[in-house]
Structure 1
Amino acid sequence: MRDTFSDYHPIVNFVYFTQVLVFSMFFMHPVCLGISLISAFTYSIYLNGKKALKFNFKYMLPMLIITALINPAFNHEGATILTYLRDGNPLTLESITYGIAAAIMFVTIISWFSCYNTVMTSDKFVYLFGRIIPGLSLILSMTLRFVPRFKVQLKIVSNAQKCIGRDVSNGSIIQRAKHGMRILSIMVTWALENAIEIADSMRSRGYGLPGRTAFSIYRFDKRDKYALIFLLFFGGYILIGYITKGLYWKYFPTMRGVRFEPYSMSLYISYLALCLAPVAINIKEDWKWKAIESKI
């Protein structure tokens, strides 16, 4: 599907992802964790369709379960003892709950970053920070683009090696190891040469020089203005709520925190509105498009 939120000004996209990523890292309240996880999964599925759905259930869900199980095995804090392990250490309700919360936070951040990489292209990042920090912005944009480009190039090299019988699936174990090392050597050489070519290309174009102008297709219009006001208002309200302990929650020694009070409920609703803003924008635009098609 076409993502309308990606067409907004880069500053709007960047502010949104900065807010949801920072909030997802620091908000350990169970309600906030659930909202962020569901929103991240929903938006990633909207952006990438069945591919994201398969990725979430094939990798993210097992990772969540494994991470949740690891914490109680090493963390034995908490006052509510359920049983004792074979080594004599207690298994507490708080350690299990905290492990689940930490696992949800970890998986949620990965999902948000997958959405970020789809929406915030390298062109947008360089547009925002090219004049402020030209060197760092170029390095970051190259880093963000490196993984997907590396995967594509690795597939090309592997297929080429397979055609001449030098793939990791051909030969004995020793031969497969040699083929894998050869492919790795090719990929490292490609990565280094590609980085040098990009650096030389940007230098020849005068990138980072004082007074240099650049072509840009991004224009900050009324739609972006309203979206930015929305993000700043709800983000500020949620941040104030966090500072004033409106989203307070602790796991040790016993689980205690703000539950369903009027003020906390308003923060939960605001956080849900913030996280699902891109999905709501896309649904609205899809509805408008279908209404127009029905009139033709």
Structure 2
Amino acid sequence: MFERFFYQEKGLFLQSLHPMAAISYLGGLLVLALLFTNPLYLLGLLLVILLCINAVQGWAIWEIYFRLSLTIMVLVIIINPLVVRAGETIIWWGPRLPVFGRLTVSLEAICYGAAMSVRLLAIISVFCLYNLMVHPDKVLSVLARFASRSALVLSLATRMFPAMIRQLENIREVQAVRGVDFHAGKLRERLPRYAALMNILLLSSLEDSLEIAEAMQARAFGSGLRSCYRQDTWRPRDSLCLGGSLLALAAAVFGQVKGFSTFSFYPQLGYLIQGPMTVVVLIIILLALSVPVVLSWGWQRCPYFKAKI
């Protein structure tokens, strides 16, 4: 069950990108999600992220992320209008409460809560895309060139939880084959079974740690400069994706400085489209961010194009 949340090699285009290109693209998406306040820009950014998730065949996983974040999004939309009173367009007057005073709900607060919910969903979707798109070992291999010991600690830490989940499932299956039912009986009767399960998991984890230490010693870890088992090749596809990310960031900064991509919620709602440049900057950003999606589409349908990039 939990393995679906972690990286799975599928041989897709976005998974074939160089780790630095993939991290740069995902980092650009995250920065833009934190930077934008205009709902149109946030929705456009979310659309691009969803297209990328579709390109890595991750709809089933994203739906789980969406269900988990839906509750928080609804709470933000509900709580923000009740707490924030900066809006001038009051659409509901509530009763007076001690300390808080009279409750009011403004249109601006509702719109702000909805926009922040879209931003939250975009940020969560970026992390979902990261899990589907980037192999953690490749990322840590790149970082290991600059700080090998820190990268080793990060690698062990990031692999610990998925490995423990897989071990736990294997141990549970073995125990079930032996006739142990973890769901039968009352809580007091089930606790000893789970305690035995945790004991086996602890022993298995200790054995794995000893094996890792022996492997590090056999490979002479720390005795000299670190060598790389596999070198990731920088290809034209990586340059195109990196160029698209940089172009999108440059256009976003230009739009923020000139005020084309900004939006004011308080004290009154501003204009979503402040002029033609608002649409122009938005189109440039979306087209630049869509470069990996377009390349993925061509990579799947044209063998010649696949060979060239």
**TM-score, structure 2 as length reference:** 0.79
Task: Measure, in 2, the Cα distance between the counterparts of 1:66 and 1:182.
Answer: 40
Give 3-state SS (helix, strand or coil) of 2:302's partner: helix
- Cα distance in 2, alignment partners of residues 122 and 238 from structure 1: 29
Task: Give yes or no for contact 1:248–1:257 (8 Å, CA) kept in 2.
Answer: no
Which of 117, 124, 127 in structure 2 is aligned with 1:110?
Answer: 124
Local SS of the residue matching 1:85:
strand
User: Is residue 20 of structure 2 the alignment partner of residue 6 of structure 1?
Assistant: no
Q: Which residue of 2 aligns with 1:230?
A: 244
1:262 matched to 2:276 = yes
How far apart are 1:16 and its partner, in Å? 0.3
Indicate conservation of the 8 Å contact 1:130/1:208, yes or no: no
Call closer, same or farther: CA 1:97–1:168 in 2, change over 3 Å: farther
The sequence identity of aligned pairs, in percent, is 23
CA distance in 1, matches of 2:172, 2:82: 40
RMSD of aligned residue pairs (Cα, Å): 3.2
Matches within 5 A, 1:1-296: 2-52=11-61, 54-55=63-64, 58-86=67-95, 87=97, 88-163=102-177, 168-180=182-194, 182-183=196-197, 187=201, 194=208, 198=212, 201-202=215-216, 205-207=219-221, 211-256=225-270, 259-289=273-303
* Equivalent pair of 1:21/1:112 in contact (CA under 8 Å): yes
Alpha-carbon offset, residue 280 of structure 1: 1.6
Cα distance, 1:71 vs structure 2: 2.7
CA distance in 1, matches of 2:184, 2:178: 10
Aligned residues: 292
Deviation of residue 110 (structure 1)? 1.3
Per-residue CA deviations over 1:59-90 (Å, capped at 9, x if unaligned) read 34454334433333433432221112344311
Identify which range, 61-70 or 231-240, moves more after superposition.
Answer: 61-70
Which structure 2 residue ranges, 5 or more long, are not aligned? 1-9
3-state SS in 2 of match to 1:253: coil
Q: Which moved more, 1:45-54 or 1:217-226?
A: 45-54
Do the aligned residues in 1 keep the contact of 2:141 with 2:151 (CA within 8 Å)?
no
CA distance in 2, matches of 1:85, 1:186: 57
Partners in 2 of 1:188 and 1:288 — Cα distance? 50
* CA separation of 1:25 and 1:234: change in aligned 2, threshold 3 A: closer
Offset, 1:20: 0.4
Q: Secondary structure at the match of 1:15?
A: helix
1:80-102 deviations in whole A, cap 9, x for unaligned?
A: 21112344311111221121122
Q: 1: distance between equivalents of 2:52 and 2:115?
A: 21
Point out 4+ residue stretches in structure 1 off by more than 6 angstroms: none
The change in CA–CA distance for 1:11 and 1:50 in structure 2 (over 3 A counts) is: closer
- For residue 256 of structure 1, give the secondary structure of its aligned residue in structure 2: coil
CA distance in structure 2 between the partners assigned to 1:64 and 1:275 by the alignment? 25
Equivalent position SS for 2:56 = helix
Q: Which of 139-148 and 106-115 deviates more?
A: 139-148
Shift of 1:129: 1.1
| Equivalent pair of 1:235/1:274 in contact (CA under 8 Å) | no
CA offset at residue 137 of structure 1? 2.7
Distance 2:37 2:223 in 1: 44
Q: Deviations over 1:150-203 (max 9, x none)?
A: 433333333344445655522113333554455456556655765675466446
- Which consecutive unaligned segments of at least 5 residues does structure 1 have? none
Q: CA deviation at 1:130?
A: 0.7
Please, which moves more after superposition, 272-281 or 9-18?
A: 272-281
Note if contact 1:44-1:52 (Cα within 8 Å) is conserved in structure 2.
Answer: no
**Cα offset, 1:37, TM superposition:** 1.9
**d(CA) in 2 for partners of 1:10, 1:91:** 46
Any conservation in 2 of the 1:167–1:180 contact (CA below 8 Å)? no
